[in-house]
Amino acid sequence: MPTHYEVADWYQLPRYYDIAFASRNTSEVDFLQALYERYAPGGPILEPACGSGRLMEGLLRRGYDVHGFDLGASMVDYARKRLDARGLGCTIWIDDMSKFRTRKRYGMAHCLVSSFKYLLSEKAALAHLQCVSASLRKGGVYVLGFHLSDYADQRADSEEHRGARGRTRVTCRIDSEPPNRKTRLETLRARLVVKMPTRTLANETTWQFRTYDEVQFLRLLAKVPKLQHVATHNFSYRADEEIAFGEEDLDSVVILRKG
């Protein structure tokens, strides 16, 4: 365990982010493919906050027309280069989840791993859902995965992700402080340790997420009547297993269909 962590934005290190989360790629891509085949009325797929492009690559390899954007220039640059290098034509650009407009209309959009919670105000979160709704075809779905908060549970939480590529090994530990019902914020810290043959890099990033319990999320969603909540899954990413929203599991993936 390193004793000193360099404080820097981990999204400036897209390759290491990508290695740490790669073990989830196949199950998440399988899940997204199954949902597309079940719900989408055809058309391309959009990933707001696409990060390193790990899910874009998986879906492109399976023949889907995939578009994505992210606010982080380093992430977009990394994603574009990786997809170009593999000969996977794609449309990827820098944009903000709460302000984007698209000329295309999508059959499915998806945003997993709580990225939506980076939008720290109700106004920004609402604007995001409105932008997604405007970008979808009629009947298209938004697959939105995020961790709900139980404000009664004031324990700190943590999770660890590990991955390796060649001789580079990455461990990512994410610690989260309890959610605050009043401010609707929670503080998280990611510690990334990258072991390479010649050196070890230790990086620390702290950020805040907006918090939602199920009532707060449904209240937000009610402001976008075009998006109807049709199903919920959890982070086991099994398309054949639905759960009751907010009751069985805080790790939620909601399916919102544009009417």
Ligand X SMILES: C[S@@+](CC[C@H](N)C(=O)[O-])C[C@H]1O[C@@H](n2cnc3c(N)ncnc32)[C@H](O)[C@@H]1O
Residues lying near ligand X in the complex (CB under 6 A) are found at 11, 21, 49-51, 54-55, 70-72, 75, 96-98, 112-113, 115, 118
CB 54 within 8 A of CB 25: yes
Q: How far is the CB of 68 from ligand X (least distance, A)?
A: 8
Closer CB to ligand X, 41 or 96, in the complex? 96
Instruction: Look up residue 15 and give its two tokens.
Output: 């390759």
* DSSP-derived pairing of the beta strands 157-165 and 251-258: unpaired
Q: Which residue number has the CB closest to ligand X?
A: 51
CB 254 to ligand X: min, Å: 16
Cβ distance to ligand X smaller for residue 41 or 71: 71
| Residue with tokens 């998986």, as numbered in its chain | 58
207 to 42, 115, 169, 188: CA distances (angstroms) = 37, 12, 24, 5
Question: CB 16 → ligand X: shortest distance, Å?
Answer: 12
Q: How far is the CB of 161 from ligand X (least distance, A)?
A: 11
Name the minimum Å distance from CB 5 to ligand X.
19
In terms of CB distance, is 15 or 139 closer to ligand X?
A: 15
Query: Rounded CA gap, 30 and 155, in Å?
Result: 33
Nearest to 54 by CA among 157, 132, 161: 161
> 218: helix, coil or strand?
helix
Kindly tell me which of 39 and 235 has the beta carbon lying closer to ligand X.
235
Tokens coding 226: 């075009």
Which of 21/212 has CB closer to ligand X?
A: 21
